[in-house]
Amino acid sequence: MNEKRIDAIPRNCLLKIRSVYDTVKSAERRAIDFILESPKEVAGLTIVDFAARAGCSEATVVRTAKRLGYRGYPDMRESFAGVDAKGGISDYGGIRRDDTHAAVTRKVFRASITALQDTLAVMSQSQYSKAVTALLGARTILVCGVGDAHLVALEAYQRFIRIGEHCEVSEDPDLQLIMAAHLAEKDALVAISHSGRSRTVLDVVKRARGAGATVIAITNFPVSPIAKHADVVLLTAAFSQHHTGEVISKRISELAIIESLYINFLITKGQPALRRLKQSNDAVRVHKLQGGQG
């Protein structure tokens, strides 16, 4: 899905879509996919036209609208008609040229707080549990991301390597593919891509899946190519406030997911992992000044 189309979807509707997407039946998913791909058309379509365009029945359209929190299709269509250039996702908390330094600070912090709250609200517990299970059973964990997503991947690598797990990461696209080719059925790939459309990451995902590994995708877009090729999809809910889409809130949400996966992993592994963590902490203490904590 094109990120720009998000601005044409009412925020509450989009959050609801993220929370139910992996649980709906195929017919309702076709209706939701049409909303995600053609949101600007919804307000101008009758229920008959919507059903024809989405490839589902009128009854399915009604059920989908109710599942998304509306009283019915007319209510949903009306909400889409109310979305304009200032009412979309990108405007909430938007920063203006005449804002004071304090105002900019508040809006930057608020964007990250909102992204974390929204991501938690739409978290699929079944998908999340599958991710934890896959990581716990993995002999090798490969983490990949490009650009600033690689920084999130690197943080994940440092977490798992610290407790003695066989974890791999690389910024080099060729090495990512080589590592993915060496994965096996018991292994796991964590692919991080906000848009879900990174060609480099998608190539790694396909290679890892071909090798039999479980693919865990962390992305903001449920119908993106990477999400469609993943076994487990963990959705973030961080919406861009700048036309480039390069806002830190999207990476903060990804980091929070990584940290929670790591903590769940550590708790389940128990004392052996905790001992290895202590060994790692003792090993790096030589680089800290006396009394230093970080």
Q: What are the pLDDT digits (tens) for 121-149?
A: 888 899 999 999 999 999 999 999 999 99
Q: What's the confidence (pLDDT) of residue 260?
A: 98
Confidence of residue 244 (pLDDT cuts 50, 70, 90): very low
For tokens 């459309």, what's the residue? 197
Res 84 pLDDT > 60: no
Note the pTM of the prediction, 2 decimals. Answer: 0.77
The region of weakest confidence among 1-10, 26-35, 187-196, 277-286 is 1-10
Q: Which of 1-5, 9-13, 159-163 tops mean pLDDT?
A: 159-163
Question: What band does 4 get if pLDDT is binned at 50, 70 and 90?
Answer: low
Instruction: Give just the sign of the alpha carbon dihedral 241, 23, 211, 141.
Output: positive
Q: Is pLDDT of 194 > 80?
A: yes
Task: Kindly give, in sequence order, each residue whose CB lies less than 8 Å from that of residue 26, ignoring residues fewer than 6 positions away.
Answer: none
**Per-residue pLDDT, 34:** 95
Mean pLDDT, residues 168-182: 97
Query: What is the C-alpha separation between 110 and 103, in angstroms, rounded?
Result: 10
pLDDT cut 70: percent of the chain above it = 90
Q: Where are the alpha helices (DSSP H) in 98-148?
A: 101-122, 125-136
Provide the H-helix boundaries in the chain.
11-20, 26-37, 39-42, 47-54, 58-67, 73-81, 101-122, 125-136, 149-162, 173-181, 199-210, 225-228, 248-269, 271-284
Q: What is the mean pLDDT of residues 138-164?
A: 96
Spatial separation of the C-alpha atoms in residues 71 and 81, rounded to whole Å: 16
- Residues 258-269 have a mean pLDDT of 97
Contact residues for 54 (Cβ-Cβ < 8 A; gap 6+) = 30, 31, 33, 34, 60, 61
Structure tokens at 47: 């229920």
| Span 270-289, average pLDDT | 92
Q: How far is CA 43 from CA 27, 75, 81, 290, in A?
A: 21, 10, 5, 64
**Rg of the chain's alpha carbons, rounded to an integer?**
21
* pLDDT one-digit tens code per residue, 100-112: 899 888 888 888 8
Res 292: pLDDT: 53
pLDDT at 17 over 60: yes
When pLDDT is averaged across residues 9-30 and rounded to a whole number, the result is 86
| Domains contained in the chain, CATH given | 3-81 (1.10.10.10), 120-283 (3.40.50.10490)
Asked if 27 and 60 count as a contact pair (C-beta separation under 8 A), the reply is yes
Q: Which of 186, 202, 238, 260 is nearest to 6 (CA)?
A: 238
